[in-house]
Amino acid sequence: MDGTEERNWGPFGRPLFEDPSARNLSRVGVVDIGSNSVRMVVFDGAARSPAYFYNEKIMCGLGTGIAETGRLHPEGRIRALKAIKRFQLLAAGMNMPPLTAVATAAVRDAEDGPEFREEVLRETGLSMHVIDGTEEARLSAQGVLLGWPDANGLMCDIGGSSMELAVIENGEVGKRVTSGLGPLKLAGIKGGKKALKAHIDATLADLAAEIGTHHQRLYLVGGSWRAIARLDMHRRNYPLTVLHEYRMSPSSLASTLKWIGKVDLEEVRAHTGTSSSRMALVPTAAEVLKRLTRTFRPREIAVSSYGIREGMLYEQMPDRLRARDPLIEACRFAEQKDARMPGFGKSLYAFIRPLVANDPAPRRRIVKAACLLHDVTWRAHPDYRHEVCFDNATRANLGGLTHQERVFLGLSLLHRYKNSREDSPFEDLFGMLSEKDIAKAEIVGKAMRFGAMLAVDEPHKKAELMYRPKKHELHLTIKPEAAGLYGEVAEARFQSLCQALNAQPVVKISAG
């Protein structure tokens, strides 16, 4: 690729996935220069579900006061430049390819934006790509698709100086619009609360006329939305504080937005881990969200931790890579990197599959993920391995699974290493599952526990399970050459699996 071809890729530089069969990313650094914060993220790991090797954010407030002055905030400029200089040095220390920098609303709207862009290039050598609002919307929506391949609905990304909407349908980004409904921009509206509400309503009416109101799910992207989601978790005493794929009903969200207007946010801030500069934007953002949900009337609101930075990675993936399952790819990567016997998870799933053959496809998918992850925490102390498994599954940076699926995955892995879940420190999380799902997770875990003990390589070629629920029997047929593998510990684990199934064990050696 010559220099001309490389420049044609715009802000993305040379494509990461020149080889369509690529499975892993080299480290890739992205700098997002927003109206409120400047952040560097270094991605590493499985290409379809990249891990965060490094993540640092500085609240610079570049867009503070821009509505009144038309210029970037002077102190914000200084802080942003210092942050970018630091990020360049960090990237050099990681021996990374050049950073990709994208600037959004504040830099594109400010009259001194071009001047700041030239200053950054002169002082740091970093070329800053200023994108327009509709491009920002497209990239943020692609970030949602990175972690949510089956996403359908309306993406809403709020920054300090703008708010973007994009339709996501059938794995594609459709119509997109941009507006000035960022909290920093709205601070310049004259006339008090009444004028602010009228301005928000009028802007949303224009957006709705352009993009439609038929979207059943609203995907929220952006720091102010995440701060509100944390407040919703706090108000509800929600047990799992993972923001990605956190769901809110319109009525629950309405209660939280009303509650936000009454509580002392500075006092609550300490319980949510939100910075004071971010919390200062919450009241205005809450007013926008209240009116946004009234205008578009979604049936469900979901939070996406993936946005423009992840969208920049998704931009460069070939279609065959985009089509892969982000959860399964991340689990495969973890197995390859950390398991004692990489590849064993596939055989383990084939062995226990008869126990879940009639389950819905989404459940079988989570069971497959559990098999891939069953051995990645083997280095943990045996007394705590079950806890490490659960904690890793429920809190890891994984896309493509709901909170309930996280808990099911974690509980399955807990039972991979321990028969009982009594007196578990995670008991409050178990309540997110039905009794039926808790019982199923125990069965899956004990099936993995038995399969991993029966053979250290390809258990599905050593023996076969057959479950007969009407007869309440679990049959284990062992091949003659593998009969010696069915020792005392393996037998005890098979008995435990049968008890979880409420089935009688039937064991035989095949004729050959």
Tell me whether residue 315 is in a domain: no
- The better pLDDT of the pair 12, 504 is held by 504
| Assigned domain for 465 exists | yes
For 120-173, the three-class secondary structure string (H helix, E strand, C coil) is: HHHHHCCCEEECCHHHHHHHHHHHHHHHCCCCCEEEEEECCCCEEEEEEECCEE
Q: Is the pLDDT of residue 396 over 90?
A: no
Of 309, 343, 374, which residue sits at a domain end? 309
How far is 106 from 66, CA to CA, in rounded Å?
8
Whether the per-residue pLDDT at 393 is higher than 50: the answer is yes
Residue 2 confidence (pLDDT) above 50: no
- The reply to whether 166 and 77 lie within a common domain is no
The domain of 151 spans 134-309
What's the pLDDT at 17? 44
Structure confidence at residue 9 as a pLDDT band (50, 70, 90):
very low
Do 257 and 377 share a domain, yes or no? no
Say whether both 358 and 486 belong to one domain.
yes
Strand partners, 30: 41, 100
Cβ within 8 Å of residue 451, ≥6 positions away: 348, 351, 352, 459
The lowest-confidence range among 127-136, 162-171, 309-318 is 309-318
Integer Cα distance of 269 and 253 in angstroms: 18
Which of 251, 278, 309 is the last residue before a domain boundary?
A: 309
Per-residue pLDDT at 462: 95
Alpha-carbon span 380 to 372, nearest angstrom: 17
Q: Quick one: 61 and 72 in the same domain?
A: yes
Residues 330 and 383 in one domain: yes
Q: Under a CB-based contact definition with an 8 Å cutoff, are residues 254 and 292 in contact?
A: no
Do 138 and 120 reside in the same domain of the chain?
Answer: no
Q: In this predicted structure, what is the pLDDT of residue 316?
A: 76
Q: Which of the four pLDDT bands, split at 50, 70 and 90, describes residue 512?
A: low
Confidence of residue 97 (pLDDT cuts 50, 70, 90): confident
- Residue 511 burial (C-beta neighbours within 10 Å; 0-12, 13-18, 19+): exposed
- What per-residue confidence (pLDDT) applies to 315? 83
Tell me whether residue 296 is in a domain.
yes
Q: Give the residue-averaged pLDDT of 365-369.
A: 97
Can you give the pLDDT at residue 491? 96
The residue-averaged pLDDT of 197-225 equals 96
Instruction: Provide mean pLDDT across the span 272-280.
Output: 91
> Could you tell me if 151 and 286 lie in one domain?
yes
Q: Is residue 159 a contact partner of residue 104, using CB atoms and an 8 Å limit? A: yes
326 contacts 146 by C-beta, under 8 angstroms: yes
Mark whether 244 and 178 lie in a shared domain. Answer: yes
What confidence score (pLDDT) does residue 6 get? 41
Nearest-10 crossing angle of helices 403-417, 361-373: 50
Task: Give the closest residue to 242 by CA, choosing from 167, 147, 171, 329.
Answer: 147
Q: How many domains does the chain have?
A: 3
Of 102, 131, 160, the residue at which a domain comes to its end is 131
Query: Of all residues in the chain, what percent carry a pLDDT higher than 90?
Result: 80
Query: Can you give the CATH number for the domain in which 481 is found?
Result: 1.10.3210.10
| Domain assignment of residue 314, yes or no | no
| 59-77 confidence digits (pLDDT tens) | 999 999 988 899 999 999 9
pLDDT of amino acid 26: 66
430: which residues sit within 8 A by CB, 6+ positions away? Answer: 407, 411, 421, 424, 438
Query: Based on the domain organization, do 143 and 230 belong to the same domain?
Result: yes
225 and 338 share a domain?
Answer: no
Question: Residue 52 maps to which CATH number?
Answer: 3.30.420.40
Residue 436 vs residues 343, 366, 410, 441: alpha-carbon distances, Å: 30, 16, 16, 9
Please indicate, yes or no, whether residues 475 and 388 belong to a single structural domain of this protein.
yes
Neighbours of 242 (CB within 10 A): 17
pLDDT of residue 46 exceeding 70 = no
The yes-or-no verdict on residue 12 having pLDDT over 70 is: no
Pair 464, 350: CB distance under 8 Å: no
pLDDT of 356 over the 80 cut: yes
What CATH number is associated with residue 299? 3.30.420.150
pTM as predicted: 0.89
In the numeric block, which tokens belong to residue 127?
Answer: 């070329």
Over residues 477-489, the pLDDT tens digits come to 999 999 999 999 9
What tokens were used for 271?
A: 């319980």
Of the candidates 209, 365, 208, which has an alpha carbon nearest to the alpha carbon of residue 291?
208
Indicate the pLDDT class of residue 397, thresholds 50, 70 and 90.
confident
Q: Which of 13-17, 325-329, 457-461 has the lowest mean pLDDT?
A: 13-17
Q: Are residues 110 and 218 in the same domain?
A: no
